[in-house]
Amino acid sequence: MEFRFTAWRDYFHRNQSAVRELNCKHDQLSKTERRVICSSVQQFQIGESSEGLYLIAAAKRFLRDCTDKSYLEALILFIQEEQRHAGELEIFMNRHNIPKLKKHWVDQVFRRLRRFSSLEQSITVLLTAEIIAAVYYDALKNVTGSVCLQSICEQILIDEEKHIEFQAEALRQLGRRRLKITNMFAVLSRFILLTCTLPVVWLYHRKVLKAGGKHFFIFLKETYQEYVRAERLINKKENGRVRSSF
């Protein structure tokens, strides 16, 4: 079984050293901004903080008979990058006395979905979160005058673009030897999961989304645009072979 991710592993290694230093010492946040973003940032911070233990376990099971472990190495580096996002948001929150959440039911649902899932199902859940994050952090960046939070959002947006590509590449490789009808059901399941998640995201984060210029139908439009981009990457082929992103 061929499941090579050496290019992705090398990318995540390079990206670790390319991250800008964060400075929130003299950062300012108005009372109005705080009312808009506080609970929303708390929820996204906890969502970024997963240790990925069940995902790593699923990857190890999948790669049991595979000599190339580059996917597992890339996956661990990806999780570390997500944890860096959580750490940077925590620095911002500490600066402005925004308490961390210990848990939230939406995050718990996503974690349980990954806990009892196959590798492909876990990646599908992750891809859904990455797609939504790409739209959310763009809105959050537009809401705030905090230089610190803007910097965090800009870096996360850069990272999320590659994360979507990373998850799409994994799903492409998982589906390339299957029957076409099986892959059609996989596409449908990704669409259904995203569509069911969007109303929940809007319910809890609409203040940030609306203030950031993402009214409901704009939010839907931009999210589905990201979804379509991901599906094109999953199904992208060139002369019978998928072209690398690198």
* Cβ-Cβ contacts under 8 Å for 76 (sequence gap 6 or more): 52, 56
**pLDDT recorded at residue 240:** 42
**pLDDT recorded at residue 114:** 65
**pLDDT recorded at residue 52:** 84
* Cβ-Cβ contacts under 8 Å for 104 (sequence gap 6 or more): 42, 43, 46, 47
Burial of 150 (0-12, 13-18, 19+ CB in 10 A): middle
Terminal CA-to-CA distance of the chain, rounded, Å? 22
pLDDT of 239 above 50: no
State the Cα–Cα distance between residues 8 and 59, nearest whole angstrom. 15
9-18, 26-35, 225-234: which is most confident: 225-234
**pLDDT recorded at residue 81:** 94
What are the boundaries of each domain within the chain?
31-234
**178 — pLDDT class (breaks 50, 70, 90):** confident
**148 — pLDDT class (breaks 50, 70, 90):** very high
* Cβ-Cβ contacts under 8 Å for 189 (sequence gap 6 or more): 124
State the Cα–Cα distance between residues 25 and 23, nearest whole angstrom. 6
Mean pLDDT over 143-164 rounds to 94
pLDDT of 214 above 50: yes
- % of the chain at pLDDT higher than 90: 70
Tokens of 181: 């009808």
State the Cα–Cα distance between residues 70 and 72, nearest whole angstrom. 5
**140 — pLDDT class (breaks 50, 70, 90):** very high
From residue 227, alpha-carbon distances to 88, 152, 188, 231 in Å are 26, 23, 12, 6
pLDDT of 241 above 50: no
Mean pLDDT over 173-202 rounds to 93
Interhelix angle 70-95/53-62, nearest 10 degrees: 170
Considering the entire predicted model, what is its pTM? Answer: 0.90
Residue range 63-90, pLDDT digits in tens? 998 888 999 999 999 999 999 999 999 9
Based on its alpha-carbon atoms, the radius of gyration of the chain, rounded to whole angstroms, reads 18
The helix (run of H) or strand (run of E) holding residue 58 is: helix 53-62
Q: What is the third-level CATH fold of 31-234? A: Ferritin (1.20.1260)
**pLDDT recorded at residue 17:** 81
Asked whether the beta carbons of 202 and 219 are under 8 A apart, the reply is yes
What integer best gives the mean pLDDT of the chain? 89
**25 — pLDDT class (breaks 50, 70, 90):** confident
98-102, 173-177, 212-216: which is most confident: 212-216
* Range 183-206 burial, b when 16+ CB lie within 10 A, else e: beebeeebeebbeebbeebbebbe
State the Cα–Cα distance between residues 170 and 173, nearest whole angstrom. 5
Asked whether the beta carbons of 173 and 58 are under 8 A apart, the reply is no
